[in-house]
Amino acid sequence: MRRFLVAGNWKMHGSSEMTADLISGVARRAFDAARLSEQKELSYDILVCPPAPYLGQAANHSESLPIAVGAQNVSQHESGAFTGEVSLAMLSEIGCEYVLLGHSERRELFGESDTLIAEKFAACVANSSASIVPVLCIGETLEDRQSGDTEAVVEAQLDAVINKVGIAAFDNAVIAYEPVWAIGTGETASPEQAQEVHAFIRAKLNGLDSAIADKIRIVYGGSVKPSNAGELFAQKDIDGGLIGGASLDVDSFSGICEATQKLIENT
């Protein structure tokens, strides 16, 4: 059984105080819920992705806690005259374990192409010493969905990476399906809609390597809240969530974590 991943993307929000308070608060709540469960331990993974200035602090705070730290972006280059960029080695040195690649805001606001995202993914795979897990974000716009092009868009975003690095590179990766129309809008894909696309993604990978398709975690992102997390995560091919706004508050993020714990207990 795949282990659930509950990940928080803070985007351009946060402060030193928030970093300390949120990580300690979420960890305390997660530990408390786990102790009350039959497992007596955390049965899923928690990830936070703060803005770059707080990554080191987040890694220090989470060092002895069940919370991993990830970056929101990375350069495809190892080093050089790339003002404003951050390399995989730098992220690894301060304790990052994951990195988001291809988030819709990077694609839409900053013009990151499928080709560039594939190059960043390839850099993660090539830099084995950094050991940073790429979280590949894919998803369609409202126009794409209304035109019936959801699967074609998602497949093209996947193919750009697969054609660059091969299916074997997904052995140590996460995929985040994020319908763009459901990010920060309050709209959420129904559990059935989300499952349909997750199943399509897994079937696509299964046609290339069944072992990787069965192993890889595909998480859902798009206005996930404590009230809908359990129903979404209960779907066969949804392995957790990439949380936006609800990850900025201890109560809401912890509520999603607690819903995940309850789901595991009842499975």
Where do runs of H (alpha helix) occur along 80-190? 88-93, 104-109, 114-126, 142-146, 150-165
- Asked if residues 151 and 200 have their Cβ atoms less than 8 Å apart, the reply is yes
**Phi then psi dihedrals of residue 240, to 5 deg:** 125, -160
Cβ burial 149-167 (10 Å sphere, 16+ → b, else e): ebeebbbebbebbbebbee
Specify whether 198 is catalytic: no
Catalytically annotated residue among 103, 105, 119, 198: 103
Q: For the chain, what's the residue count?
A: 267
Catalytically annotated residue among 97, 112, 119, 178: 178
- Asked if residues 197 and 203 have their Cβ atoms less than 8 Å apart, the reply is no
| Torsional class of 94: left (φ above 0), alpha (ψ -120 to 50), beta (otherwise) | alpha
**Residue that is written with structure tokens 């350069």 in the block:** 75
Q: Alpha-carbon distance 167 to 182, whole Å?
A: 28
The residues that are catalytic are 103, 178
